A and B are shown apart, each in its own frame.
Chain A
Amino acid sequence: MPEIKVTPLGAGQDVGRSCILVSIGGKNIMLDCGMHMGYNDDRRFPDFSYITQQGRLTEFLDCVIISHFHLDHCGALPYMSEMVGYDGPIYMTHPTKAICPILLEDFRKITVDKKGETNFFTSQMIKDCMKKVIPLNLHQTVQVDDELEIKAYYAGHVLGAAMVQIKVGSESVVYTGDYNMTPDRHLGAAWIDKCRPDILISESTYATTIRDSKRCRERDFLKKVHETVERGGKVLIPVFALGRAQELCILLETFWERMNMKAPIYFSTGLTEKANHYYKLFITWTNQKIRKTFVQRNMFEFKHIKAFDRSYIDNPGPMVVFATPGMLHAGLSLQIFRKWAGNEKNMIIMPGYCVQGTIGHKILNGQKKLELENRQTLEVKLQVEYMSFSAHADAKGIMQLIRMAEPRNMLLVHGEAKKMEFLKDKIEQEFSINCFMPANGETSTVATNPSVPVDISLNLLKREMALGGPLPDPKKPRTMHGTLIMKDNSLRLVSPEQALKELGLSEHQLRFTCRVQLQDAHSDSDTHIRIYTHLKSVLKGYTIQHLPDGTVMVESIVIKVSSSPEEPNTKVLLLSWSYQDEDLGSFLSTLLKKGLPAALSSM
């Protein structure tokens, strides 16, 4: 049976490092190549020894696909391609290709320069890795080779995030990466057509949650900003250039007037230039509303949000500032933080995950005293708020996606099977499909039932139609007989006669003969009659004839009686049948071997 194999790499119950191997139709694909942010040693990389114990990965993989720019999905890519070794194609969407290297470089700087690590990829490796990238457009089928094709779908979540369909022949797999089913202020919701993949692969991290509404998260953000500003404090929001910054700016802009806020809101100039650049490039990746406004005005020309100048850091009074970088590890946001951290009226709002080693990470862990490079200590007195705005699908979202795509099987990675039995039951009951939940390092094998399209000759089709029965129905398979000719790249179903003709072969008839010996004292002709009578009484419903020359025929089976002059009491019955009547023929020979009943009424 053909099958598809899926293996999430990693060990134990680890979440936080996505790297999934899929074997389909003889092809091997790696989906995502993430870094585990919780480890400082080699455990942060996926365990590629599953693919090969040593050496490069190029000959074992047909392609690598990256779903989006978050480090837990692409963080190990340069390590994999340049340090382990892979020279094949790497696919990702255009925005992902543009943004990935920036994040990777930032991450490299933090890990190597700040934490002093050595077994890590270099800036040049990031560049070399990106040279192998082939960018994808949405809904465009890309031929990786003669047999493997891939297609990207919109996933929402972050700019450029995609769900990917991988197809070999009529078998296919869809991998969701991270996605969300509800649109937010600057991105749309994930969408896929009824592509009916053999397997839909999704994360299970949020599968057993019910997400708090976006408006409650926004309310909390506005409330904290409002409270701080009301008491005369300053709010620092460190952001990455793309992503939540836009979302939060739009939110503040929408409500600033309603809330009657007078305090100024700023964003750092680096932020706006980059943001404008990327959003212009990738406008098709934002939602409808943004696209409409973008046509009318510049993305960052807000009424209430102005460009920041370093000299404003010391301005008295309340203000709100969006500044890069997002994890407080360098640059303007760190500079502002150092100035504002000592005042308990102030607040810092972290809208996303911070990598270990950064100041962002430390203060989110509750650290109140920080040691800076120049041996100075910084006391953290300002209020620290961690707010998660990342858009993820929850239990309901997974059900919605399954309804959209109609997969034949579901596969959830990165979850504990015993904590997800209810979800598995739910999916199996509602959709009547299997739900697999492999542990990291474990392989799930899914049997597929691929259909092979063949052309059928008109004659054969007519013959089948003439047999009658119900009209052809794609939902009701029907058995038929024919001869399959596989020539070059075509598959044709024709009648046997036509096949013989095309191949220049002559038709042979196959007949079986069988001799049955009977002890019988009657004459040959009497024996014929006795056989005829016997068979007529046993085989009701069959055509049985007694021919003038004495032969008995059952359907097309011929029975002839003969005897030798030396042994007149031993009769030899010769049975002959064509192979189509094999069943009946065997039955008759077995029956006649038992002999004829003694008392038979004569005709």
Chain B
Amino acid sequence: MYEISSDENEFEDWFIESLKIYSNIHEYQLEHPTRVIEWTGEKNVCVAGYNLSKNEILELLLPLKLFADDNQGLCAERDFKVVHGGFTDGSIHCLKHIPGTRCVVTNDGSSSKLQVWDVGGDDCDVIKKTGDIHLKTASLDKGVKIDSPLTGNASVLHGSQVNDIQLTELTSGTPLYTLGTDIPDVLSSLRFVSGSVFLACSVNGDVYVGDTRSPSYLQKSPAGGREGNHWCMGVRADSSLPEPSSCSVARLSSSCQAVVSDLRNLKSPVCQAQLNVQRKTTSDEFLIVTWAPALDNCLAVSGFDGMVQIYNTASWRPELMEFQPIFIHRGHMMSDAHFDTSSSVVTTHVWHPSRPWTVLSAAGDGSVHVWDWVDNTTASSKSLA
């Protein structure tokens, strides 16, 4: 349950505090909210609406000022540029960029169809649909989770349940790999850790490891006795290696627990924590946990409320204990000139692939924020990957 309060002082406090806790922050208001932010380049992201009927997909160029670094003072350019845009007839719950291409794949969250789009080049600013992939999924009304292999030909891994996970070639629609199992558990996350090894997390917290080179291979690591919760997963892999030697897997539950494991031994977690989340929505659909790609032991969670919380897992223990975040982004709760806890939930967040402290987050009121947070904790936690 959460209280609804409106306090101008609290907004001003946050505004003054923001001078110190962010090195940069930009806030934008989209016409319609997005629940996807997907990198399509070092400076470009795709966002898309999730209304029931017509929506827009936009490719946005991040503000040049952010990348000006040493010359930041001379660059006044703070705005997003809409470099490409297109229209969809349905909602977009999932949007994935296919590496090495100008292609993205989307799903509307309630059907078993994938749409394939060409984001476009310099000669035209319209995002066009190039085709559909109709899937044989076990459940026809749940959405499909999507991921794409880190290397190799353009293909997409998708599934709504563990037993319908499949790798499909993009251009021909030919299935390249099907997971041979009859486990009906609904998926919450699907992630590749290399060109062929992937992890699937079901909503009850079980993690499965599969390999698209061998359809019979499947390794299951149960969540272990944490019934009745909704779980999701975040994976940090060293994508420069062909085979993942070490890979951190974080699982987040709707009861605000985070469990960290290593791919080499998923059954025994390395550490865990009870996260400090005060105000919580009743919906689990926006829960997300991510690892910072360019920082050690740094993970971010959102989807409980209007905040994005960043934790340092280096101090976490194998036994369950409560930990405080090292940073909280409250910007989405500060609507105009006042503090408003009743406004929207953060729908998604992503880290910049190489800039260590840059995060993008979106909320249900249509806001999209780009922020560089300042790590005020001890020097040891400021290490770069």
Question: Which one of B67-75, B103-111, B139-147, B357-365 is at the A interface?
Answer: B67-75
Q: Is A125 positioned at the interface, with any CB of B under 8 Å from its CB?
A: no
B19 and A421 form a contact (CB under 8 A): no
Q: Are A395 and B82 in contact (CB under 8 A)?
A: yes
Per-residue A-contact encoding for B1-41, CB less than 8 Å = 1, 0 else:
00000000000100110110000011111110000000000
Decide yes or no whether A396 CB sits under 8 A from chain B: yes
Measured between beta carbons, the chain A residues less than 8 angstroms from B71 are: 366
Looking at B122-130, B164-172, B219-227, the stretch in contact with chain A turns out to be B122-130
Bound-complex Cα distance A429 to B53 (A): 14
Residue of B nearest to A395 (CB): B82
- Residues of B contacting A419 in the complex (Cβ-Cβ under 8 angstroms): 125
Contact assessment for A212 and B74 in the assembled complex, using a CB-CB cutoff below 8 Å: no
Question: A189 on the interface (CB 8 Å rule)?
Answer: no
Within 8 A of B (CB), among A375-430: 383-388, 394-396, 399, 418-423, 425-426, 429
Assembly CA distance A422 to B76 (angstroms):
26
Closest to B19 in A: A223
**Would B27 and A421 count as touching, CB distance under 8 A?**
no
Q: Is the Cβ of B79 less than 8 Å from the Cβ of A421? A: no
- Is A456 in the interface zone, CB < 8 Å from B? no
Q: Which residues on the B side are within 8 Å of A422 (C-beta)?
A: 82, 84-86, 125-127
Question: Could you say which residues of chain A place their CB within 8 Å of the CB of B29?
Answer: 210, 213, 396
Indicate with 1 or 0, residue by residue over B250-291, a CB within 8 angstroms of chain A CB atoms: 000000000000000000000000000000000000000000
Chain B nearest CB, measured from A143 CB (Å): 40
Is A219 part of the binding interface, using a Cβ–Cβ cutoff of 8 Å?
A: yes
What distance in Å separates the Cβ of A422 from its nearest Cβ neighbour in chain B? 4
The answer to whether A212 and B63 touch (CB under 8 A), given A364-B74, A386-B74, A394-B79, is: yes
Contact status of A219 and B15, CB under 8 A, knowing A399-B31, A418-B125 = yes
A204-217 to B contact mask, C-beta < 8 Å, 1/0: 00101111110111
B228 to nearest A CB, angstroms? 40
- Determine if B80 and A210 form an interchain contact, defined as CB atoms under 8 angstroms apart: yes
- A246-B81 Cα distance, complex, nearest whole Å: 29
Cα–Cα distance between A226 and B84 once the two chains are bound (Å):
38
Report how many A-B pairs have Cβ atoms within 8 Å: 101
Is there a chain B Cβ closer than 8 Å to A433's Cβ? no
Q: Determine if A222 is an interface residue (Cβ-Cβ < 8 Å).
A: yes
For residue B82, which residue of chain A has the nearest CB? A208
Minimal beta-carbon separation of B15 from chain A (angstroms) = 7
Which residues from B are CB-within-8-Å of A364? 74
Given contacts A212-B79, A418-B125, contact A219 B30 (CB under 8 A): no
A219 touches B73 (CB 8 A): no
Query: B79 to A211, Cβ gap below 8 A?
Result: yes
CB pair A210–B28 under 8 Å, yes or no, is yes
Looking across the interface, which residue of chain B has its beta carbon closest to that of A209?
A: B79
Q: Which residues of A contact B327 (CB under 8 A)?
A: none
Whether the pair B84, A386 counts as a contact (CB closer than 8 A) is no
**Which of A211-237 touch B at CB < 8 Å?**
211-213, 215-217, 219-220, 222-223, 226
Which residues does chain B contribute within 8 Å of A429, judged by CB atoms? 87
Enumerate B43-102 residues with CB–CB distance to A below 8 Å: 56, 60, 63, 71, 73-87
Q: A210-B29, A215-B15, A219-B15 are in contact. Are A426 and B56 (CB under 8 A)?
A: yes
Residues A209 and B80 in contact, CB atoms below 8 Å apart:
yes
Q: Which residues of A contact B124 (CB under 8 A)?
A: 418, 421
- When C-beta atoms are compared, the residue in chain B nearest to A353 turns out to be B76
Q: Are B126 and A216 in contact (CB under 8 A)?
A: no
Q: Give the CA-CA distance A206 to B79 in the complex, in Å.
A: 9
Inter-subunit contact B74/A366 (CB<8 Å): yes
Whether A386 contacts B73 in the complex (CB less than 8 A), given A210-B80, A213-B29, A215-B15, comes out as: yes
Contacts of B73 in A (CB 8 A): 383-386
Contacts of B123 in A (CB 8 A): 418
- Contact between B26 and A208, CB atoms less than 8 A apart: no
Q: Which residues of chain A are near B127, meaning CB under 8 Å?
A: 422
Cβ of A396 and Cβ of B31 under 8 Å apart? yes
Asked if A259 is an interface residue, CB under 8 A from chain B, the answer is yes
Determine which of A212, A222, A366, A418 lies in contact with B26 in the assembled complex, contact meaning CB atoms within 8 Å.
A212
Contacting residue for A210 out of B12, B75, B82, B337, CB 8 A:
B82
Count of chain A residues with Cβ under 8 Å from any Cβ of B? 40
Contacts of B85 in A (CB 8 A): 422-423, 426
B295 to chain A, nearest CB (A): 23
Cβ–Cβ < 8 Å partners of B84 in chain A: 422
Q: Across the interface, which residues of B come within 8 angstroms of A226, CB to CB?
A: 19
A388 to B76, Cβ gap below 8 A? yes
Minimum CB distance partner of A392 in chain B: B79
Given contacts A223-B19, A395-B82, A421-B126, contact A210 B74 (CB under 8 A): no
**Any chain B CB within 8 A of the CB of A255?**
yes
Closest residue of chain A to B18 (Cβ to Cβ) is: A219
Tell me which residues across on chain B come within 8 A of A303, comparing CB atoms: none
Chain A residue contacts of B31, Cβ below 8 A: 395-396, 399
For the complex, what is the distance from the CA of A419 to the CA of B87, rounded to whole Å? 16
User: Once bound together, how far apart are the Cα atoms of A421 and B76, in whole Å?
Assistant: 26
How many Å lie between the Cα of A420 and that of B80 in the bound state?
A: 15
| Residue interface bits A190-209, CB-to-B below 8 A is 1, else 0 | 00000000000000001011
A259 to B63, CA, bound (A): 28
How far apart are B289's CB and chain A's nearest CB, in angstroms?
A: 27
Q: Provide the bound-state CA to CA distance between A162 and B83, in Å.
A: 30
Residue in A closest to B127 when the chains form the complex, CB atoms: A422
**Contact present for A212 and B28 (CB under 8 Å):** yes
A223 / chain B contacts, CB cutoff of 8 Å? 19
Residues of B within 8 A of A258 (CB): 12, 16
CA distance A366 to B70 in the complex (A): 12
A209 B19 Cβ-Cβ under 8 A:
no
Q: Which residues of B contact A395 (CB under 8 A)?
A: 31, 82
Tell me how far the C-beta of A203 lies from the nearest C-beta in chain B, rounded to whole angstroms. 15
Alpha-carbon separation in the docked complex, A396 to B58 (Å): 13
State A365–B29 Cα separation when bound (angstroms): 31
Chain B residues with CB below 8 A from A420, complex form: 125
Bound complex: CA of A425 vs CA of B128, how far in Å?
12
- Within the assembled complex, what's the spacing in Å between the Cα atoms of A421 and B77? 23
- Set of chain A residues within 8 Å of B16, measured between Cβ atoms: 255, 258-259
A210: B residues at CB distance < 8 A: 28-30, 60, 79-82
Distance in Å from the Cβ of A204 to the closest Cβ of chain B?
12
Q: Are B125 and A216 in contact (CB under 8 A)?
A: no
Contact code string B154-179 (vs A, CB < 8 Å = 1, else 0): 00000000000000000000000000
Alpha-carbon gap, A17 to B334, bound state (A): 39
CB distance from A351 to the nearest CB of B (A): 9
Q: In the complex, which residues of chain B have a beta carbon less than 8 angstroms from the beta carbon of A212? A: 26-28, 63, 78-80
Contacts of A421 in B (CB 8 A): 124-126
Residue of A nearest to B336 (CB): A215
Q: Which residue of A lies closest to B63 (CB)?
A: A212
Smallest CB gap from A223: residue in B = B19
Nearest CB of A to B137, in Å: 31
A222 to B12, CA, bound (A): 13
Q: Residues of B contacting A384 with CB < 8 Å?
A: 73-74
**How far apart are the CA atoms of A386 and B73 in the complex, in Å?**
6
Hey, which chain A residues are within 8 Å of B74, CB to CB?
A: 364-366, 384-386
**New contact pairs (16) apart from A215-B337, A216-B25, A419-B125, CB-CB < 8 Å:** A209-B79, A210-B29, A210-B80, A210-B81, A211-B78, A212-B78, A213-B27, A213-B28, A215-B15, A219-B15, A219-B25, A226-B19, A258-B16, A364-B74, A395-B82, A421-B124
Q: Give me the interface of A with B, judged by CB distance under 8 Å.
A: 206, 208-213, 215-217, 219-220, 222-223, 226, 255, 258-259, 364-366, 383-388, 394-396, 399, 418-423, 425-426, 429
What are 27 pairs between A and B in contact, CB < 8 Å?
Answer: A208-B125, A209-B79, A209-B81, A212-B27, A215-B15, A215-B27, A215-B337, A216-B27, A217-B78, A219-B25, A220-B78, A384-B74, A385-B73, A386-B73, A386-B74, A388-B76, A396-B29, A396-B30, A418-B123, A420-B125, A421-B125, A421-B126, A422-B84, A422-B126, A423-B82, A423-B85, A425-B87
Question: Which 10 A-B pairs rank lowest in CB-CB distance, beginning with the nearest?
Answer: A422-B85, A212-B78, A210-B80, A213-B27, A388-B76, A209-B79, A386-B76, A223-B19, A385-B73, A208-B82
